Amino acid sequence: MSPETFRSMGVEVAVGGASRSELAGVQSLFEELDARFTRFRETSELCRVNAAAGSPVVVSPRFAQVVRLALRAAAATNGRVDPTLGRALEAAGYDRDFDLLEPGSTAAGMPSPGCWRDVRLYGPVLWLPPGVALDLNGVVKGLAADEGLRLLAGDGFVSAGGDVAGRGRITVAVPGGDRIVLRAGGIATSGSSRRRWRNGDTAAHHLLDPATGRPASSPWAEVTVVAGSCLAADVAAKAAFLAGAEGPAWLDRHGLGGRFVGTSGMVVDNAVWKRATAQEQAA
């Protein structure tokens, strides 16, 4: 199952187990989602919607679907994964494609906290509070991996920048030097060890504390989660990172396995992760 790769959404996408036509379908799916949901192209539907904040706007069925998923992800994580932090990301300096960020440049604007509960979606009519901008990247990448996997007839995987949706026995290298076998669902890693930049004199990264709109501080450098889908794994990994020391217990309460790599390099597995890997070893 040697993977094929292409670039989309600012990351490398790897697809294993796909026929040529299935691979073309996966690539087309990623391109469609990227074109619609990028923050960095004025022609995207996301930019059009964000520009209309404060007024009701009619959105496409696809856009409405993703907003609904993002709001449900926010509800499921007690608002830790908040889709309304687009302006806060710009204020933190992440205002263009990551590869184009200039080190040390100072962004204009003040950080603003998240306000996902204030978003209104009635059928195709979406209303954002004035001045609010959506950033749906936290949902779109995982969704693309899950939907891409569904385009494959047999076993295989779709990895979007290391966030993986898989079916069959997929051996995945995880932070900390181990390997796991993903049988069904998704695995994703979030953290502050990449996508870091300097905003003036301050170090910044893309995982924002929704309470302040500023880059979050966390005892973790990376959090890896296995869940029933890549989207759920990605959302849970971000939420567990933002939960700080409570992250392992929060994942346990949801029955999700998580591996945490601390900023010191210490590796912590939560109870569900330990149980799943111990069972495999015993068998």
Partner 1 sequence: MAEESRIEAAHRRVAAAKTVAVVLAAAGFLAALGLARSSHAGSSTPARASGTQTPAEDQTGDDDFSLDPGSFGTGNDAPQVQTHVS
Binding piece for partner 1, criterion CB under 8 A, among 18-26, 39-47, 226-234, 262-270: 226-234
Q: Which is nearer to partner 1, 1 or 106 (CB)?
A: 1
CA-CA distance, 59 to 189, in Å (whole number)? Answer: 31
For residue 269, the minimal CB distance to partner 1 (Å) is: 11
Q: Which of 256, 204, 250, 221 is nearest to 80 (CA)?
A: 250
Q: How far apart are the first and last CA of the chain?
A: 25
**Which of the residues 73 through 132 are near partner 1 (CB under 8 A)?**
73-76, 78-79, 116-123, 125, 127, 129
Answer for the pair 217, 59: CB distance below 8 angstroms, yes or no. Answer: no
Cα dihedral value 257, 187, 70, 92, nearest 10: 100
Answer for the pair 71, 121: CB distance below 8 angstroms, yes or no. Answer: yes
Binding piece for partner 1, criterion CB under 8 A, among 25-33, 40-48, 86-94, 272-280: 272-280
Answer for the pair 132, 87: CB distance below 8 angstroms, yes or no. Answer: yes
Binding mask 8-37 for partner 1 (x = CB under 8 A): ---x--x-x---------------------
Q: Which is nearer to partner 1, 175 or 244 (CB)?
A: 175
Binding piece for partner 1, criterion CB under 8 A, among 21-29, 40-48, 104-112, 271-279: 271-279
Q: Which of 4, 52, 254, 271 forms a contact with partner 1 (CB under 8 A)? A: 254
Q: Which is nearer to partner 1, 73 or 151 (CB)?
A: 73
- List, in sequence order, the alpha helices (H) in 196-244: 230-242
Q: Which of 122, 120, 113, 116 is nearest to 134 (CA)?
A: 116
For residue 15, the minimal CB distance to partner 1 (Å) is: 10
Tokens of 259: 């591996």
Q: Is 153 exposed, middle or buried (0-12, 13-18, 19+ CB in 10 A)?
A: exposed
Q: Which is nearer to partner 1, 88 or 221 (CB)?
A: 221
Q: Which of 136, 134, 191 is nearest to 162 (CA)?
A: 191
**Which of the residues 142 through 201 are near partner 1 (CB under 8 A)?**
157, 159-164, 166, 170-175, 178-195
Q: Which is nearer to partner 1, 86 or 257 (CB)?
A: 257
For residue 95, the minimal CB distance to partner 1 (Å) is: 19
Answer for the pair 220, 230: CB distance below 8 angstroms, yes or no. Answer: no
For residue 108, the minimal CB distance to partner 1 (Å) is: 27
* Residues in binding contact with partner 1, number by CB under 8 A: 84
Going by the DSSP 8-state scheme, the letter that residue 270 receives in this structure is: -
Cα 163 vs. chain centroid, distance in angstroms? 8
For residue 13, the minimal CB distance to partner 1 (Å) is: 10
For residue 128, the minimal CB distance to partner 1 (Å) is: 10
Does position 220 interact with partner 1 (CB under 8 A)? The reply is no
CA-CA distance, 38 to 97, in Å (whole number)? Answer: 9
